[in-house]
């Protein structure tokens, strides 16, 4: 099994969707929702950093409205983002030690990426790092992984697939939970003109109670609210750095 996203980065958008096509995710609708949340809390927000930006689809949709930058741990995901976002600064960084040396009016960490921080102390550190990058009046938005009470043991998702006419992908996932830790083995069959490749990755994520996220936001000095996410069983935590 390969490291998360190292080999699946090139088919990520075919599975999840992009700025033009909604698949598992409707990124365009999400970007509108995020923009409304930001404007209601900081109407003059101009700069935005998306941490764990992945292939950069949210950034592509928000760059018209904000001056955007991205950061991600995975060089392969950043390579896809760089092709999508010419001229946008992209940083290879771990959110647990993020130190970009400047602040932003908005910091986001979307689509469950925070779940990859599987240690409780690291979670407090990571949220502290994100909050440190907020300017006065800045807004932090974190979309959490599945809430512990919403996880369904034994759930067997249907096979997922996508195609752009050049690359076809089919994915099957096997998931399990031990305590707070969920392990997702993702097996992809990727067909191109060169043939069919099998890409298998293991993703390990922690189910974090919303109260633990809220406590970390508050410890970082943010005024905190919890909103629903469009994906069921997941919460969105929104924090505001007081002026």
Is residue 9 within 8 Å of residue 79, measured between CB atoms?
Answer: yes
Count CA within 13 A, CB hemisphere, residue 10.
12
Q: Closest separation between CB of residue 111 and ligand SAM, Å?
A: 3
For residue 192, give both structure tokens: 């191109």
Looking at beta carbons only, is 117 or 146 nearer to ligand SAM? 117
Q: Closest separation between CB of residue 105 and ligand SAM, Å?
A: 19
Q: Closest separation between CB of residue 43 and ligand SAM, Å?
A: 25
For residue 31, give both structure tokens: 């970007």
Q: Closest separation between CB of residue 134 and ligand SAM, Å?
A: 17
Q: Please list every residue from 110 through 169 that binds ligand SAM, using CB under 6 A.
A: 110-113, 116-117
Residue in the block written with tokens 């959490």: 144
How does 38-69 read in b/e, with b if 16+ C-beta sit within 10 Å? beebbeebebbbbbbbbbbbbbbbbbeebebb
x-marked contacts with ligand SAM along 8-47 as a string, rule CB under 6 A: --------x-------------------------------
Looking at beta carbons only, is 113 or 135 nearer to ligand SAM? 113
Q: Closest separation between CB of residue 14 and ligand SAM, Å?
A: 12
Only one of the segments 109-117, 130-138, 164-172, 227-235 lies at the binding site for ligand SAM (rule: CB under 6 A); that segment is: 109-117
Is residue 208 within 8 Å of residue 115, measured between CB atoms?
Answer: yes
x-marked contacts with ligand SAM along 71-90 as a string, rule CB under 6 A: -xxx--x-------------
Q: Please list every residue from 45 through 74 that binds ligand SAM, using CB under 6 A.
A: 52-54, 57-58, 72-74
By CB under 6 A, residue 217 contacts ligand SAM: no
Count CA within 13 A, CB hemisphere, residue 172.
3
Q: How many residues belong to the site for ligand SAM (CB under 6 A)?
A: 20
- Rounded CA-CA distance 125/220 in Å is 9
- Rounded CA-CA distance 240/181 in Å is 29
Q: Closest separation between CB of residue 12 and ligand SAM, Å?
A: 7
Residue whose CB is nearest to ligand SAM in the complex, by number? 54
Q: What is the dihedral of CA 117, 122, 123, 129, to 10 degrees?
A: -110
Count CA within 13 A, CB hemisphere, residue 114.
35
Judged by the rule CB under 6 A, the positions of this chain that interact with ligand SAM are 5, 16, 52-54, 57-58, 72-74, 77, 94-96, 110-113, 116-117
């Amino acid at each position: 099994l390969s490291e998360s996203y190292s080999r699946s980065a090139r088919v990520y958008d075919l599975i999840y969707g992009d700025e033009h096509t909604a698949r598992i995710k409707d990124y365009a609708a999400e970007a509108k929702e995020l923009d409304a949340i930001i404007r209601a809390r900081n109407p003059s927000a101009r700069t935005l950093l998306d941490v764990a930006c992945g292939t950069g689809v949210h950034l592509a949709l928000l760059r018209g409205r904000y001056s955007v930058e991205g950061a991600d741990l995975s060089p392969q995901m950043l390579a896809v983002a760089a092709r999508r976002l010419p001229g946008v600064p992209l940083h290879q960084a771990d959110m647990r030690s993020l130190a970009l040396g400047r602040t932003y009016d908005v910091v986001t960490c979307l689509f469950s990426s925070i779940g990859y921080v599987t240690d409780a102390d690291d979670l407090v550190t990571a949220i502290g790092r994100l909050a440190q990058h907020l300017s006065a009046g800045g807004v932090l938005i974190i979309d959490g992984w599945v809430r512990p009470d919403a996880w369904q043991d034994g759930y067997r998702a249907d096979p997922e697939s996508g195609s752009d006419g050049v690359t076809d992908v089919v994915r099957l996932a096997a998931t399990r939970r031990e305590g707070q830790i969920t392990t997702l083995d993702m097996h992809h069959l990727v067909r191109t003109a060169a043939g069919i490749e099998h890409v298998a990755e293991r993703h390990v994520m922690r189910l974090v109670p919303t109260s633990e996220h809220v406590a970390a936001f508050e410890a970082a000095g943010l005024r905190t609210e919890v909103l629903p996410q469009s994906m069921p069983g997941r919460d969105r935590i929104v924090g505001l750095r007081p002026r």
